[in-house]
């Protein structure tokens, strides 16, 4: 593998600045990695090599002439196929969307990437309308894990996680309505941030409403902070967008966690963990204590809000299908169709009751964070399972939410939540640590994640000989 595909965005920028290599070489390295690795993992639905190399040549010229546009100039970048991207179809993993139509608008994050000179490589896989926690669709097939392609990469931003984990560009942008950047980050040993809601504007609005966030997917915390500098910023097309942040998310990133009050909740009071995952997150909590934080094992006092989440989630899923006609459900993922049918008719009263649960959850977590600056949990209670399945074999529930109980609560509260690698199970599979802060405390979350990454050294894993590290079962 070309060494340039192993570098982070921060390292690429420094190399461009010194003149060690150019954006053209970095783009070609990423494209070579796609050619070599994508047949194994199926991370991309479309690759636009000619456009990427054209944009890389323009970036190289700007670097030579000292006219760099911004933090993303020349960085090979992929986009989850949920975001509108001018000139490219946005198919959202479904057969219901016709690719042969005008595609004339960029989503806000894509527009920001273009403005800063990023080199767009292509679009990454997603399940239909990003509805579940693994990545497969009838239109594009299933996406495998860089650590072991026979296992799932998670979802719904599994293509982006697989691309980042395989060196197919150092960063990507995903969406997260119930864990969709954090789930694949945990399964693949990569890094992802679900920012405070509204910090990264969204357009068009997600069918899942104010549950859905957009966020960076990277291999290191510093790259996530740098990408936040690119994709944040007010956009009038999003009625709920927050003001453009002041300053850089890189500022204070290495200030450490000395003096922070941190809660460690291994189950949030209602989950159950794989033994290896439980051990790894407990070890991670100990690292924060050694770094000077005060760490207390305590639950936040919440009940599992999954039933309310299902009402909010599947009301959105059902509504999005309406636009494609009365028989649309016959042409989508059978799991999506069955889940909508299981939920039954959702009344306005049901939706308001679920919203009330959400509001109460937000109040509880707001009060909890009056005492604790951060809360640590596992990102997921289990490691990755075989691809092509919605749940592990023999699992007691067929709902994806049943194996990701620690992610969707924080979509309901709109808090920033980040997944960072915290080690490997006995079988060599990654586990993720989730770091959650109160709303608007994204910089504190990033700073804590960076401190842990530096101390534990899990975040320095490089792409390359990742695929097939874990052997597939024998036939």
What residues are annotated to the active site? 80, 156, 180
CA–CA distances in Å: residue 118 to residues 113, 167, 205, 231, 357 = 5, 16, 24, 11, 41
Tokens of 135: 């990545």
Tokens of 271: 């989950």
Tokens of 288: 């924060």
CA–CA distances in Å: residue 352 to residues 70, 97, 209, 347 = 43, 31, 14, 9
| Three-point CA angle 254, 259, 264, nearest 5° | 95
How crowded is residue 11: how many other Cβ atoms within 10 Å of its Cβ? 17
Sequence-ordered alpha helix ranges (H) in 206-333: 221-231, 275-290, 306-322
Backbone angles phi, psi at 98, to 5 degrees: -85, 120
Distance CA 422, CA 273 (A): 15
Q: Are 161 and 153 in contact (CB under 8 A)?
A: yes
Give me the DSSP letters along 290-304. HTT-EEEE-------
* Bridge partners (DSSP) listed for residue 144: 152
DSSP helix, strand, coil percent of the chain (3-state; round to 5): 40, 15, 45
- What strands lie across the sheet with 191-194, from one edge to the other? 44-47, 119-124, 76-80, 171-176, 213-218, 191-194, 417-424, 430-436, 374-378, 261-264, 294-297
Give me the DSSP letters along 342-394. HH-PPPHHHHHHHHHHHHHHHHHHHHHHHH-SEEEEES-SS---BTT-SS-TT
């Amino acid at each position: 593998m070309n060494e340039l595909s192993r570098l982070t965005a921060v390292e690429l920028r420094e190399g461009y600045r010194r003149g060690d290599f150019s954006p053209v070489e970095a783009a070609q390295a990423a494209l070579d990695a796609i050619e070599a690795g994508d047949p194994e993992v199926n991370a991309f639905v479309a690759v636009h090599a000619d456009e990427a190399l054209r944009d890389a040549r323009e970036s190289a010229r700007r670097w030579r002439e000292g006219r760099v546009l911004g933090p993303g100039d020349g960085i090979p970048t992929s986009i989850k196929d949920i975001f509108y991207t001018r000139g490219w179809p946005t198919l959202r993993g479904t057969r219901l969307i016709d690719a042969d139509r005008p595609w004339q608008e960029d989503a806000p994050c894509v527009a920001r990437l273009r403005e800063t000179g990023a080199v767009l490589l292509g679009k990454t896989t997603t399940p239909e309308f990003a509805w579940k926690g693994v990545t497969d669709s009838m239109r594009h097939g299933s996406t495998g894990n860089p650590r072991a392609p026979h296992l799932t990469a998670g979802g719904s931003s599994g293509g982006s996680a697989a691309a980042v984990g395989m060196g197919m560009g150092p960063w990507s942008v995903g969406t997260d309505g119930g864990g969709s950047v954090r789930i694949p980050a945990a399964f693949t040993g990569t890094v992802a941030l679900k920012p405070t809601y509204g910090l990264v504007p969204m357009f068009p609005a997600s069918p899942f409403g104010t549950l859905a966030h957009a966020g960076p997917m990277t291999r290191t915390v510093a790259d996530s902070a740098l990408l936040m500098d690119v994709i944040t910023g007010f956009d009038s097309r999003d009625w709920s967008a927050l003001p453009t942040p002041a300053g850089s998310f890189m500022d204070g990133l290495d200030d450490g966690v000395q003096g922070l009050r941190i809660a460690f909740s291994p189950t949030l009071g209602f989950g159950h963990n794989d033994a290896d995952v439980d051990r790894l997150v407990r070890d991670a909590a100990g690292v924060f204590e050694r770094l000077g934080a005060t760490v207390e094992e305590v639950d936040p006092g919440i009940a599992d809000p999954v039933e309310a989440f299902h009402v909010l989630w599947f009301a959105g899923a059902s509504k999005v299908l309406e636009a494609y006609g009365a028989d649309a459900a016959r042409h989508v993922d059978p799991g999506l169709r069955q889940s909508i049918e299981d939920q039954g008719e959702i009344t306005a009263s049901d939706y308001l009751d679920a919203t009330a649960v959400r509001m109460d959850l937000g109040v509880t977590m707001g009060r909890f964070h009056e005492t604790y600056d951060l809360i640590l949990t596992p990102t997921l209670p289990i490691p990755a399972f075989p691809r092509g399945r919605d749940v592990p074999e023999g699992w007691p529930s067929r709902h994806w939410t049943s194996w990701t109980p620690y992610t969707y609560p924080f979509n309901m509260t709109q808090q920033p939540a980040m997944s960072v690698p915290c080690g490997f199970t006995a079988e060599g599979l990654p586990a993720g640590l989730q770091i959650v802060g109160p709303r608007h405390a994204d910089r504190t979350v990033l700073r804590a994640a960076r401190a842990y990454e530096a101390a534990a050294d899990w975040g320095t894993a490089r792409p390359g000989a990742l695929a097939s590290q874990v052997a597939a079962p024998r036939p």
